[in-house]
Amino acid sequence: MYLQTKDYEKSVKSYEEILEYNKQDINAFVRPIWIYLDFLNDPTKAVKLSEMAVIAFPNDAMAYNLLGWSQTGTLNYVEAEKNLKKSIEIDSTSAAPYYNLGKLYENQDLIEDALYSYQKAYELDQAGSIGNLAAKRYNNLLIE
């Protein structure tokens, strides 16, 4: 409800309360990290949550994707790239780390690498939201 009314502070607090009681699903970490990164501009808190995800799910590709995504927000590009690539090593069929790697490369003006990563994300998720986002970013880079 808080997310729909754009009360991001209360929304993220509610998600964090859920995490206190249920750390058995990696997907429970996604929304609060997304809110910290995309709405509250607080990547430091996103990194803390994603580090908790890696501790709770050390063999899960999504945990490393979340950490790399969050580290990109703190401009820690070396660690972000390392963790996104680890996510891909664990599960090369997931579009999210390729998309986040594209954003990381785009932030560094590594356009060819960004284009490749966005294309790969699109190929892996053509009908999904990540694939759609990747296609938009890919096309925007071609226009620029």
- What is residue 9's predicted lDDT score, i.e. its pLDDT? 75
Per CATH, domain 44-143 is 1.25.40.10: yes
The mean pLDDT of 89-113, rounded to a whole number, is 98
- What is residue 6's predicted lDDT score, i.e. its pLDDT? 66
Handedness of CA 55, 42, 129, 25 (dihedral sign): positive
List the chain domain ranges: 44-143
In this predicted model, what pLDDT tens digit does every residue of 55-95 receive, in sequence order?
Answer: 999 999 999 999 999 999 999 999 999 999 999 999 999 99
Tokens 């694939």 correspond to what residue? 131
The mean pLDDT of 104-114, rounded to a whole number, is 98
Confidence of residue 109 (pLDDT cuts 50, 70, 90): very high
Measured CA to CA, the distance from residue 32 to residue 86 in angstroms comes to 22
Confidence of residue 144 (pLDDT cuts 50, 70, 90): confident
What 3-state class would DSSP assign to 22? coil
Pick the residue with more confidence: 120 or 3? 120
Measured CA to CA, the distance from residue 32 to residue 26 in angstroms comes to 12
